[in-house]
Structure 1
Amino acid sequence: MENINAQPTPRRARTPWQVTRSVWYAMFMREAISRTMSDRMGWFWMIFEPVAFVAIMVGIRSFIRGDRLVVNAEFIPWLIAGLMGFLLVREGMLRGMGAIEANSALFAYRQVQPIDPVLVRNFLEGMLRSFVFLIFIVGGLMIGLDMYPDNAIRAMGAWLSLWSLGIGLGLVTSVSATLVPEVGRVIRMLSLPLLILSGVIFPLNNLPHWLLEYIMLNPIPHALETLRLGFFEKYQPIHGTSMLYFWLVTLSLNALGILMHLRFVDRLKAK
């Protein structure tokens, strides 16, 4: 006979990591469906934007002979590598700004924190950009471009480094733009000058040394040049390129972003 006095086995409480993992998975699936399926043209624009940009720059090159400015690297693959790396950082920064406001309704659940949608969005964006970059590499190889990396480990390391910088910028801008909306407008306005100053379009080696010293305070060119060096072994990167400096800035931004989220968590939830 069954023991009617037997007590039901209590369910084991989930650990904080298990709760966080469940929250991230649910938010990732929500963001992925929204990002890729809510707009029928979503995938098209992700691929068309860099293709159109490269086509425009190749057209400009035919007039100014910009390929002669790049030492030991083909201009089109050099441009594609730099553009895709920059877009990875830019989208991580810009999409982080709207993550908190777009998911504000979820903060009614105590398991969800404002930092969660920022991290999930950056992870999803990095996955999508990596996939699009692979499409460019395969497509370039099929039409005869030198898109095969000479040092794949260095190229992947630089790509993941740019991804990390995008996360750090997204953490900082998500708090800043949520608390002060005007900050978001200024950051969007600066994205185009930042593209030029990061050496995406033209090499920065030909700039005067005194100007280059200031431009290289921007961490993005350091990782972009390392990414290009991974594709072209004999490529001459910008003088002063340092991944040590890049990672000092990147880790500082990530630490600052986490501290800002901890400090203003109540205000972010109230927005």
Structure 2
Amino acid sequence: MTQARSSLTVTLHVWHALFMREASARITGDRLGWVWIFIEPLAHILLFVAIRQLMGNLRHVAGAEFIPWFIAGMALYLMFSTVMNRSMGAISSSRALFAYRQLHPVDTILVRAFLEVLIKIIVLILLVLGAGFLGYNILPANALAVVGVWIGLWLFAIGVGLVLAVVVTSVQELGKIINMITFPLYFLSGVMIPVQFLPRYLQELLMYNPLLHAVESFRMAFFANYQSIHGINMQYVMMWAFSLILFGLMLQVRYKNRLMAQ
């Protein structure tokens, strides 16, 4: 007589199977596969370094070397962007699996978010090693703070993904509009343009953006002498993260049947 499995055991088995499926799809989904995962951040770095050369040499930003400064902010933002976008489309791409009653829409989002953050951790480590090989010192001054900020923004990305997954699954055309709206965040989060160089009134407006707080906190954890603008606070990011996760889970429960039937 077989022993009944607990709910936790069933959930873990579902997540494991879903994780292996997502990982396999990431590798074999297109011809570039894993290669594109590493080409994308390198392309961002090379493009912005070229722009910097055209604008003039900028070697330091508020106590940090420019190239390591940009790599740290870019890697963190790409993690957020990838987790959010991939989570947003997780339900639609896994709809055929909902024939199994053990699988719920929220499972697809959580597993995909976990896979993406693991990939971005590998990318960040390789970028740090590559920068060190080229002579740039990019080892974090406070490794625990770096991990804390990384996890905090990942939770924020999950919260955004939980909410947007319901919206996009219900009205798929909104996905393109959301991508257009979120693109300016690359510039408004201090990733490419040092926020210290902006006028005071713009700094005050950008302080409402949780991504700016996370990016600047990440850099302060990486570079011991980095001086950001006044008011940067990771508690603000965590407040947004937990609020969105709670709201997103409520939406997932409320519209579960509709999401599975779309």
Deviation at 1:22, TM superposition (A): 0.5
Query: Which residue in the other structure is 1:113 paired with?
Result: 104
- Alpha-carbon separation, structure 1, partners of 2:115 and 2:34: 14
Query: What is aligned with 1:234?
Result: 225
Does the aligned pair in 1 maintain the 2:117–2:154 contact within 8 Å?
Answer: yes
Partner of 1:243: 234
Task: Note closer, same or farther for the CA distance 1:186–1:108 as it changes in structure 2 (3 Å cut).
Answer: same
Match of 1:262 in 2: 253
Correspondence for 1:142 = 133
In 1, Cα distance between equivalents of 2:155 and 2:82 = 12
**Which residue number in structure 1 is paired with residue 244 of structure 2?**
253
Amino acid at match of 1:204: V
In the alignment, structure 1 residue 29 sits paired with structure 2 residue 20: yes
Residues 220 and 246, structure 1, Cα contact 8 Å, conserved in 2: yes
Structure 1 match to 2:151: 160
- Residue 58 in 1 paired to residue 57 in 2? no
Rg larger for:
1
Deviation at 1:66, TM superposition (A): 6.3
Aligned equivalents of 1:146, 1:163: Cα separation in 2? 25
Q: Structure 1: how far apart are the matches of 2:116 and 2:167?
A: 20
Query: Is the contact between residue 59 and residue 65 of structure 2 (CA under 8 Å) also seen in structure 1?
Result: no
Partner of 2:182: 191
SS at match of 1:61: helix
8 Å contact from structure 2 (residues 153, 237) kept in 1: no
Residue in structure 1 matched with residue 30 of structure 2 by the alignment: 39
**Distance between the aligned counterparts of 1:18 and 1:66, measured in 2?**
56
Deviations along 1:81-109, one digit per CA (max 9) or x if unpaired, are 11110011111111112111111011111
Structure 1 residue aligned with 2:69 = 78
Measured on the aligned residues, the alpha-carbon RMSD in Å equals 1.3
1:67 Cα deviation after fit: 2.5
- 1:51 deviates by 0.9
Indicate whether 1:94 and 2:85 are aligned: yes
Counterpart of 2:180, as a letter, is M
Tell me which residue corresponds to 1:17.
Answer: 8
In the TM superposition, residue 136 of structure 1 has moved relative to its aligned partner by: 0.5
2:165 to 146, 163, 174: 174
Distance 2:164 2:239 in 1: 18
CA distance in 2, matches of 1:242, 1:114: 33
- Which residue of 99, 104, 111 corresponds with 2:95? 104
Which letter does structure 2 place at the counterpart of 1:235? Y
List per-residue Cα deviations over 1:158-189 (Å, max 9, x = no partner).
Answer: 11112111111111111111112232111111
Aligned partner letter, 1:103:
S
Task: Give the distance between the partners of 1:179 and 1:94, measured in 2 at CA.
Answer: 16
TM-score for the superposition, normalised by structure 1? 0.93
Equivalent residue pairs, number: 262
Query: How far apart, in 2, do the equivalents of 1:187 and 1:239 lie?
Result: 30
Question: Any stretches of 5+ residues in structure 2 without a counterpart?
Answer: none
C-alpha contact 1:115 1:261 (8 A) present in aligned 2 = yes
Deviation at 1:39, TM superposition (A): 2.8
Match of 1:220 among 197, 211, 216: 211
Q: How far off its partner does 1:204 sit?
A: 1.0
* Equivalent AA in structure 2 for residue 152 of structure 1: A
Partner SS for 1:202: coil
In structure 2, give the amino acid aligned to 1:125. E
Amino acid of the structure 1 residue aligned with 2:102? Q
